[in-house]
């Protein structure tokens, strides 16, 4: 993508009421625009980051044979009355009355709807297990929206749901999703920690949250610091249950508080095994060889739209964002400092097309702007590699390649530049 064609409305500063670093950088880099309290538009740069996250989540869910569906954002109040949550959910639920005087709501979650779908279509034990997921906008009317997209009223979420024949199989599914979430976050370049958590309004007695430890986090977790360097991807259920890590709410309920440290963190995912809570309230019965039974259910959520903000909280400096390569909007940022020079511009055009032909995401700054503006925008946007075509190109046919993470710079001949770029972004990994 050429900068001249790509809408990136960068700003020198954001409004004074912006308190969190990620909120400030997302606004100044042109990723988001606030429409009203807790509701944001995702601009082209921000949407590219969301797409990187979504693509990875979809790929890994599809790889596990989890069916993708899309349920509506507007739900009937009838199914929430069946589960007895319509009156108990609270003021976070946005209630709507349509022109026919029918009670509707903007869905804050989808346990009721997926249970209604399951009841209609899953009739036999031979149809189980079943796993579904969808990626959809949710709305929860937060009493005090804050921190930009971190605590917004409207947000993008991936939620999955499972149906199993009994508790043992349900626990196996829960374990599979636990490992899947660790794999997703690992491949996104996000070092999350799984912690035991209360089930809250969703229900059930088995629940874990996935937290990113950052000093500016809004949550508090308690854990054995060894977990910060430990991989849990291959854990079995008994190991998952014995994890010495807890959310603040859950920590208050346990007696053994030894050898645990308190950390600030940001919650990015939450999984629940709630058993027959919803299948029972919906009278959802399935035929088996020995009679009827109620499916054992679970739900598994990832807060997609808060991931970019959390990553920025973890990875930034005084100049701007430092993206991990997995979710960076582009892999390479080509900066032409001599737009008025025909030879330099022709080379940059050819170089840009060659990088694109290798399926590498590249942003080419072809604007007729002063170098200071181009450099400040590049640091603010935070793409991992900056490739600079400046005076060295004219003098000795060299480009400068700069790593955004630590500002390390190498000068290299133009004939070797593409091979070096591929090596540096780990394209062959």
Cβ pair 173, 162 in contact under 8 A: yes
Q: Give pLDDT < 50 ranges for the chain.
A: 428-429
| pLDDT for position 322 | 98
Closest among 157, 136, 107, 141 to 39, alpha carbons compared: 141
CA Rg value for the chain: 24
Cβ pair 174, 47 in contact under 8 A: no
287-290 contact pairs (CB < 8 A, 24+): 287/123, 287/124, 287/125, 288/124, 288/125, 288/165, 289/125
| pLDDT for position 257 | 65
Residue spans of the domains in the chain: they are: 21-317, 330-424
- Residue 22 makes CB contacts below 8 A (sequence gap 6+) with 147, 148, 150, 308, 309, 310, 312, 313, 316
| pLDDT for position 428 | 41
Same fold, 21-317 and 330-424: no
| pLDDT for position 19 | 86
Identify the CATH assignment for 330-424 out of 3.40.50.800, 3.20.20.105, 3.30.499.10, 3.40.640.10: 3.40.50.800
Q: How far is 63 from 47, CA to CA, in rounded Å? A: 24
Compute how many other C-beta atoms are within 10 angstroms of the C-beta atom of residue 426. Answer: 10
Q: At what angle do helices 21-28 and 307-314 cross, to 10 degrees?
A: 110
Cβ pair 4, 367 in contact under 8 A: yes
Architecture of domain 21-317: 2-Layer Sandwich (3.30)
| pLDDT for position 338 | 93
- In tens, the pLDDT along 261-271 reads 999 999 999 99
| pLDDT for position 162 | 98
| pLDDT for position 429 | 34
Q: b/e per residue, 100-130, with b = 16+ CB within 10 A?
A: eeeebbbbbbbbbbbbbbbbeebeebeebbb
């Amino acid at each position: 993508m050429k900068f001249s064609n790509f809408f990136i409305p960068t700003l020198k500063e954001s409004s004074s009421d912006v308190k969190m670093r990620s909120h400030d950088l997302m606004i100044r880099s042109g990723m988001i625009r606030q429409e009203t309290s807790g509701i944001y538009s995702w601009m082209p740069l921000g949407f590219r980051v969301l797409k990187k996250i979504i693509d990875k989540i979809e790929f890994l869910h599809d790889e596990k044979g989890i069916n993708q569906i899309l349920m509506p954002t507007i739900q009937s109040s009838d199914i929430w009355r069946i589960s007895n949550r319509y009156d108990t959910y609270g003021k976070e639920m946005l209630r709507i009355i349509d022109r026919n005087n029918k009670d509707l709501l903007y869905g804050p979650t989808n346990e009721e709807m997926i249970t209604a779908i399951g009841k209609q279509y899953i009739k036999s034990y031979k149809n189980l297990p079943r796993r579904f997921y969808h990626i959809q906008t949710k709305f929860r009317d937060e009493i005090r929206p804050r921190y930009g997209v971190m605590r917004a009223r409207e947000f993008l979420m991936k939620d999955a749901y499972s149906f199993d024949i009994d508790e043992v199989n349900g626990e196996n599914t829960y374990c599979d999703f636990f490992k899947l979430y660790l794999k997703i976050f690992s491949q996104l370049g996000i070092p999350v920690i799984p912690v035991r958590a209360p089930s809250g309004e969703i229900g059930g007695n088995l629940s874990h949250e996935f937290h990113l430890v950052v000093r500016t986090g809004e949550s508090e977790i308690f854990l054995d610091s060894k977990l910060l360097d430990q991989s849990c991807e291959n854990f079995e259920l008994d190991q998952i249950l014995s994890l010495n890590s807890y959310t603040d709410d859950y920590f208050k309920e346990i007696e053994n508080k030894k050898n645990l440290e308190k950390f600030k963190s940001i919650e990015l995912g939450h999984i629940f095994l709630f058993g027959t809570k919803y299948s029972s309230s919906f009278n959802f019965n399935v035929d088996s060889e020995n009679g009827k039974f109620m499916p054992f259910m679970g739900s598994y959520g990832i807060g997609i739209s808060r991931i970019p903000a959390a990553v920025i909280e973890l990875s930034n400096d005084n100049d701007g964002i430092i993206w991990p390569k997995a979710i960076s909007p582009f892999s390479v940022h080509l900066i032409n400092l001599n737009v008025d020079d025909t030879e330099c511009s022709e080379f940059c055009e050819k170089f840009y097309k060659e990088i694109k032909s290798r399926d590498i995401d590249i942003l080419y700054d072809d604007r007729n702007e002063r170098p200071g503006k181009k450099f400040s925008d590049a640091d603010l946007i935070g793409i991992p590699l900056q490739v600079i075509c400046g005076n060295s190109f004219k003098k000795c046919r060299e480009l400068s390649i700069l790593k955004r993470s630590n500002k390390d710079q190498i000068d290299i001949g133009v004939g070797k530049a593409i091979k070096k770029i591929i090596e540096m972004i780990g394209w062959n990994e």
